[in-house]
Structure 1
């Protein structure tokens, strides 16, 4: 008797200070399926440390509930000459890394935005609607499936790009 196919769970992160996106996808028999999407909006009127705390709390609760066991991928922030932008994004990274560490989870891969777009759409300069359409196609979601935000579809694209790069799914 053949063993039952194992399901592995993977996470994707599209991080920012304003609206970080989170995604979890299961893979069974080389086929990805959407488990959960989420994002958290922070208010620019609030102090930056509070915004980081909100992101950390959201990440902790999200990954505590869905706990990826196969790996987590993050889209990297291309370095900017604007120190404040770098600081904000890296602060969000740190907030999520602290939440993951409490759950004994870590980011397994960091992918560039163009790499994510290329792997998921075939075009390294694809626009957000093209990325969302490719995510729907790969996850076998209906054409009218609405993502709550671009951050959620981008987080899903990140995890799918990771799965494609690692040869874990068929596209």
Structure 2
């Protein structure tokens, strides 16, 4: 990579705003997330999901998977979370979720990453400080298998929106070290 093509990190990262997106942009999560059985059990209990395939080893052993499956809603939630820094850190609200599919099972110990592509942009007709972004996102495991795919549409703040102002408090004294 020559100096002319190097991409330098911004001095201050506050996420993307509506103006930062272009149709066709692809973002890959910087971080991966390994799911553990503890994550799976807690999420399953938190959501009152009583399907034993998520938390009962003996029951899961009788299934075609022979071990507990990670709760599909946990898989979706983690992949969405991994995509937020790139896509919707400055979103005002989710507007739609479409075409969610789970082509590959997820098990404790799997590590997931997110990849998102911008599909559509449009200005809000009723909210001048916001725009609407549609993306498709997929979760990919450590083997490169797609474990979840979905489309998501959300309302994004523009840079001029009052909510885009820095929320960092000004220090009341100078550095002491």
Bigger fraction of residues in helix: 1
Bigger fraction of residues in strand: 2
More contact order relative to length (CA 8 Å, sep ≥ 6): 1
Q: Report if TM-score (shorter chain) is over 0.5.
A: no
TM-score (norm: length of structure 1): 0.22
